[in-house]
Chain A
């Protein structure tokens, strides 16, 4: 894995602001304690958006274009009509292990009501 044992990907799904679905993936040494830089194309991420239990849409897979320890994609996947809505982001990420991508799935943000 990237020439070093113990490197892994940790991911996060957030609602950054009103209806802004963001999915992050970060590369870390084991234990998600010390971040580590990853070369271009090593980190892939996509975000899916949900509102009130409805599926809104999903982004394409995007990959880091420069060396970084954290890479994310953000967009407003759901409309935000008047009133209070409950939004979720679901994150999928993948990490290049030297020969193929290892996938990480099922990270959901806490719901945010706007």
Chain B
């Protein structure tokens, strides 16, 4: 009788442990992939409706071809905090790393040095007191 209770207790404990482990795993939703729909951009108050943004946003390379996906948290602000600086990981649909989006350079696939990809020409615009602008161009020769 005592042995039966022991086995019953063990069985119940096993079921409970499996439940504790399995429930969070089952409740974890698969990440979503896609583009940002037009309706997510609120151009009146300048915000982005994150509920309409997929977890991973499709990204383009410099030629305009599909490069992979970047995490929305890496490109959009969260609670007023800007997205982090630096290269942004780019993954495929299985979340395997395929390259990086490098500020000023664009998509750099794995195996290529960032420095080997030329920077975009950039214009820096200073407003002058007379209402005109002074424009300085950088990276023109790259």
Closest to B58 in A: A54
Q: Given the complex, which residues of B lie within 8 Å of A56, measured CB to CB?
A: 59-60, 106
Q: Given the complex, which residues of B lie within 8 Å of A66, measured CB to CB?
A: 126, 134
Q: Which of B60-82 contact A (CB under 8 A)?
A: 60, 62-64, 66, 70, 75-77, 80-82
Q: Is the interface of A mostly helix, strand, loop or mixed?
A: strand
Q: Which of B99-139 contact A (CB under 8 A)?
A: 101-107, 120-129, 133-134, 136
Kindly state the separation between the CA atoms of A92 and B58 in the bound complex, as whole angstroms: 21
Number of interface residues, chain A, beta carbon within 8 A = 51
Closest to B44 in A: A110
Closest to A55 in B: B59
Q: B24 in the interface, Cβ–Cβ < 8 Å?
A: no
Q: Given the complex, which residues of B lie within 8 Å of A81, measured CB to CB?
A: 64
Q: Given the complex, which residues of A lie within 8 Å of B101, measured CB to CB?
A: 55, 57-58
